[in-house]
Amino acid sequence: MTETFYEVMRRQGITRRSFLKFCSLTAASLGLGPTFAPQIAHAMETKPRIPVLWLHGLECTCCSESFIRSAHPLAKDVILSMISLDYDDTIMAAAGHQAEAIIDETIEKYDGNYILACEGNPPLNQEGMSCIIAGKPYLEQLKHAADHCKAIISWGSCASWGCVQAARPNPTQATPIHKVPGLAPKPIIKVPGCPPIAEVMTAVITYILTFERFPELDRQGRPKMFYSQRIHDKCYRRPHFDAGQFVEAFDDEGARKGYCLYKMGCKGPTTYNACSTVRWNGGLSFPIQSGHPCFGCSEDGFWDKGSFYDRLTDIHGFGIEADADKIGGTAAAVVGVAAAAHAGLSAVKRARQKGGES
């Protein structure tokens, strides 16, 4: 017998009123508008909980920590009422072979019907043994779970791009999920950020469960609903940028007035994320609001684009109407980077792969 979200939520003491409120909040957080609330409610009333295997490779667990900070919906309600989090070695009660048995039990029972959530990435050097699970390379566990899953969520910048352990010279050859050799060709949704915003994580899950499909993705595999605009486009300090009012040094008069942090190295103009719109921790703040330049933690290869305090040199020439696909990688020609002369994604990528100077 499979139960729907609604049945589960009702059984667990959530009133219909709270349930509907939750649905409208979800609709709002997805940017869908109030007319979608009944559709979400209908979906939740008729669909079963989906099993999730949440695997951890080389990472720092910041994605999990972010996830539990979700304000709407609460992480508790996601775990108890929306998904069946059958494997997550950070919180699961079982250990050792009792833990590992769950992977095969899930495959047996839900072959092709569970979500594989990846936090971190596998190393390919050292025969994969710089990340060992149950005496074997993590790579094996990942590939095995991927073979039988319905789809993959790449949580955070590690799974999406490689992140810090893949910064040059990437000693373990840490490899983002979509580039893992021999991985089953499953749909992959990237939710980059170090970590991603909690409410973005839970909204992605909620969207998939509600509409039984992935949200529309950009050509890099990120949900357009959260990653189609640069932080700069919706930054509350944008008027100061336009007016030429800049912070010139930390704690100067401009810093105290909330002027634009562009001259302090802000990567908001080249970073696609929802920080300036959804903001962090229930909409409380985001890095720029708290006085530090954005350093672009949701962008591919952001660790290797020069110092965080180096100023972007080429950000003119695009308006807020352009989206990630149109701009491509206009990005990141950074002071001090050899690639300054060749802006554009391919050039930046080449520079990164060669380990351009920082």
Partner 1 sequence: MTTMQTPNGFNLDTSGQRVVVDPVTRIEGHMRCEVNVDENNIIRNAVSTGTMWRGLEVILKGRDPRDAWAFTQRICGVCTGTHALTSVRAVEDALGIDIPENANSIRNIMQLSLQVHDHLVHFYHLHALDWVNPVNALKADPKATSELQQSVSPHHPKSSPGYFRDVQNRLKKFVESGQLGPFKNGYWTNPAYLLPPEADLMAVTHYLEALDFQKEIMTTRTIFGGKDIHPNWLVGGVPCAINIDGPLAAGAPVNMDRLNYVSGVIDRTLEFVKNVYIPDLFAIAQFYKGWLYGGGLSGQSVLAYGDIPDRANDYSAGNLLMPRGAIINGNLKEVHEVDHRDPEQIQEFVPHSWYAYPDEAKGLHPWDGITEPNYALGPNLVGTSTNIQQIDESAKYSWIKAPRWRGHAMEVGPLARYVVGYAQGHEYFTEQINRTLKTLDVPVDALFSTLGRTAARALECEWAAEMQRYFMDKLIANIKAGDTATANVEKFDPKTWPSEVKGVGFTEAPRGALAHWIRIKDTKIDNYQCVVPTTWNGSPRDNEGNIGAFEASLMNTKMERPEEPVEILRTLHSFDPCLACSTHVMGPDGEEMAEIKVR
* Residues in 23-82 that interact with partner 1 by CB under 8 A: 49, 51, 56, 58-66, 68-71, 74-76, 79-80
Taking CB under 8 A as the criterion, the residue among 19, 24, 86, 186 binding partner 1 is: 86
How many Cα atoms are found within 13 Å in the side-chain-facing hemisphere of 231?
Answer: 29
**Tokens found for residue 8:** 């589960």
3-state secondary structure of 136: strand
Q: Which of residues 107-126 bind partner 1 (CB under 8 A)?
A: 125-126
Binding span for partner 1 by CB under 8 A among 39-47, 279-287, 318-326, 346-354: 279-287
Among 95, 219, 321, 341, binds partner 1 (CB under 8 A): 95
The residue range among 136-144, 200-208, 323-331, 338-346 that interacts with partner 1, by the rule CB under 8 A, is 136-144
Whether the CB-CB separation of 180 and 47 falls below 8 Å is answered with no
DSSP string across 50-98? EEEEEEE-BS-SHHHHHHTT-TTTTHHHIIIIIEEEEEETTT-S--HHH
Pairing of strands 136-137, 188-191: unpaired
Element (H, E) at 241: helix 238-242
Residue type, 289: Q
Binders of partner 1 among 144-203, rule CB under 8 A?
Answer: 163-165, 167-172, 174, 194-195, 197-198
Rank residues 108 and 251 by Cβ distance to partner 1 and give the closer one: 251
Of residues 281, 318, 322, 328, which one binds partner 1 by CB under 8 A?
A: 281
End-to-end Cα, the chain, rounded Å: 57
Please name the residues in contact with 351: beta carbons below 8 A apart, sequence gap of 6 or more: 337, 338, 339, 342
Q: Which of 16, 179, 282, 335 binds partner 1 (CB under 8 A)?
A: 282
Would you say 308 and 325 are in contact if contact means Cβ atoms under 8 Å apart? no
Nearer to partner 1 among residue 95 and residue 341 (C-beta): 95
Binding partner 1 by CB under 8 A: which of 99, 151, 184, 217? Answer: 99
Of positions 176, 223, 287, 301, contacts partner 1 by CB under 8 A: 287
Q: In the complex with partner 1, which residue's Cβ is closer, 212 or 252?
A: 252
Residues numbered 311-350 forming contacts with partner 1, rule: CB under 8 A: none
Among 47, 263, 292, 350, binds partner 1 (CB under 8 A): 292
Based on CB atoms, which residue is closest to partner 1, 137 or 223?
A: 137
Provide the 10 A C-beta neighbour count for residue 320: 11
Distance CA 183, CA 53 (A): 16
* Identity of the residue, 155 or 207, whose beta carbon is nearer to partner 1 in the bound complex: 155
Strand, helix or coil for residue 227: helix
Segment interacting with partner 1 (CB under 8 A) among 8-16, 202-210, 227-235, 311-319: 8-16
Rule CB under 8 A: is residue 93 a binding residue for partner 1?
A: yes
